[in-house]
């Protein structure tokens, strides 16, 4: 076993603001490095941190971006197009609510918005290539989510049609990522058509098992769905190419369960928490990912309904570092090994 998970990294989306040091790429990188992080995952939608189109068309610009980050002693783990990926597929029921993710001139224009989102993902493929990255973080978008609970009953063929259309929109994007040698890592997330293992499998079927369709593993979303997040690694480890380290807890009551009763996050049975404050068994997660050879970045995604984000970021450094496993280069019982001897083996077997 020679691979090892890298870390700690931090996703910058929840920390960006109009105040220093969180309002510039240089400032936020210096802040993250000062806490002890080794990499940053960079959001690209409406961000002053990186111009995605320019990054797709200019290696010199990408070298400048890398220079700013490297000067702080950091690397880039991945770029993120979560918001643009969401807009690749939006059911009309959610169109107005998701319009805020698009440029102002595209709001109320769903077809143009979709075309813009698809182009953004294609830019992200080339930008990731120019930056020397191997993985990219995104959402799938959703055409079917409003039918997740089958009442009224779904018409026959609806699910198949939905995934066929989703694949139709994503296949040109996945091909662009193939051309750039980069994996698309879908964060499996409630609200997306790709939200668990079964829906990911449906998408693979619809895309002819496209090699660039992969997974951003985030166990917090599985806790809130009551899915076995450890067995998930056993099943899908070959497709896990990115990792968000985010904690969660699920405490159902006689009044509310998985659906949460339209309550705010702090009152829901399923809540995201800062690392170490929830219920997730990260020791087993890191062990399984290491066992299966995952060598990408362990990236903190802070989302907590109670703790201040800066406290969560500060505590997350040691939490991730303490879970990283330095792989052994020998077996613990090597001292008792016996040289290969065919005759001896046959005698032991009684042959």
336 has a pLDDT exceeding 80: no
Long-range contacts of 227-236 (CB under 8 A, 24+ apart): 227/196, 227/197, 229/280, 229/285, 230/281, 230/284, 230/285, 230/288, 232/197, 233/285, 233/288, 233/289, 233/292, 234/288, 235/197, 236/197, 236/200
Architecture of domain 6-348 in CATH? Alpha-Beta Barrel (3.20)
What's the pLDDT score for residue 327?
A: 86
Sorting pLDDT into bands at 50, 70 and 90, what band is 67? very high
CA dist 198 and 196 (Å) reads 6
101 has a pLDDT exceeding 90: yes
Q: What is the mean pLDDT of residues 108-117?
A: 98
For helices 282-291 and 309-323, what crossing angle results, to 10°? Answer: 50
**Is there a cis peptide before residue 8, judged by omega within 30 degrees of 0?**
yes
What's the pLDDT score for residue 17?
A: 94
Q: Which of 86-95, 237-246, 326-335 has the lowest mean pLDDT?
A: 326-335
The model scores a pTM over 0.75: yes
CA dist 139 and 124 (Å) reads 13
What pLDDT digit, counting tens, does each position of 252-288 carry?
999 999 999 999 999 999 999 999 999 999 999 999 9
Q: Quick one: what percent of the chain has pLDDT higher than 70? A: 99
What pLDDT digit, counting tens, does each position of 211-253 carry?
999 999 999 999 999 999 999 999 999 999 999 999 999 999 9
142 has a pLDDT exceeding 70: yes
3 has a pLDDT exceeding 90: no
Q: Give the mean pLDDT of the chain.
A: 96
What's the pLDDT score for residue 2?
A: 56
Structure tokens at 96: 């107005």
79 has a pLDDT exceeding 90: yes
């Amino acid at each position: 076993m020679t691979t090892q998970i890298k870390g700690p990294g931090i996703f910058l989306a929840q920390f960006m603001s109009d105040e220093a040091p969180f309002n510039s790429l240089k400032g936020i990188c210096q802040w993250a490095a000062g806490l002890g992080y080794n990499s940053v995952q960079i959001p690209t939608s409406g961000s002053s941190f990186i111009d995605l189109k320019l990054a797709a068309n200019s290696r010199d610009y990408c070298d400048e971006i890398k220079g700013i980050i490297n000067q702080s002693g950091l690397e880039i783990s991945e770029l993120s197009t979560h918001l643009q990926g969401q807009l690749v597929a939006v059911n009309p029921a959610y169109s107005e609510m998701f319009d805020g993710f698009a440029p102002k001139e595209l709001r109320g224009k769903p077809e143009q918005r979709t075309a813009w989102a698809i182009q953004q993902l294609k830019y992200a493929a080339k930008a990731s290539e120019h930056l020397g990255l191997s993985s990219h973080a995104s959402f799938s978008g959703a055409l079917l989510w409003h039918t997740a609970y089958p009442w009224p009953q779904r018409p026959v063929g609806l699910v198949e049609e939905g995934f066929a259309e989703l694949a139709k929109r994503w296949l040109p994007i996945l091909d662009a990522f193939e051309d750039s040698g980069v994996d698309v890592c879908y964060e499996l997330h409630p609200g997306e058509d790709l939200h668990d293992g079964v829906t990911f499998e449906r998408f693979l079927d619809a895309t002819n098992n496209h090699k660039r369709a992969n997974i951003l593993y985030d166990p917090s979303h599985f806790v809130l769905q009551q899915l076995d997040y450890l067995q998930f690694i056993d099943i899908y480890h070959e497709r896990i190419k990115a990792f968000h380290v985010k904690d969660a807890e699920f405490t159902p009551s006689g009044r509310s369960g998985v659906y949460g009763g339209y309550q705010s996050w702090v009152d829901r049975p399923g809540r995201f928490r800062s690392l170490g404050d929830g219920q997730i068994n990260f020791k087993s997660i890191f062990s399984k990912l290491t066992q299966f050879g995952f060598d990408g970045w362990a990236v903190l995604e802070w989302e907590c309904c109670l703790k201040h984000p800066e406290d969560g970021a500060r505590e997350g450094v040691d939490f991730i570092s303490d879970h990283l496993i330095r792989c052994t280069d020998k077996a613990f019982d090597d001292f008792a090994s016996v040289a290969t001897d065919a005759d001896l083996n046959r005698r032991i077997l009684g042959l």
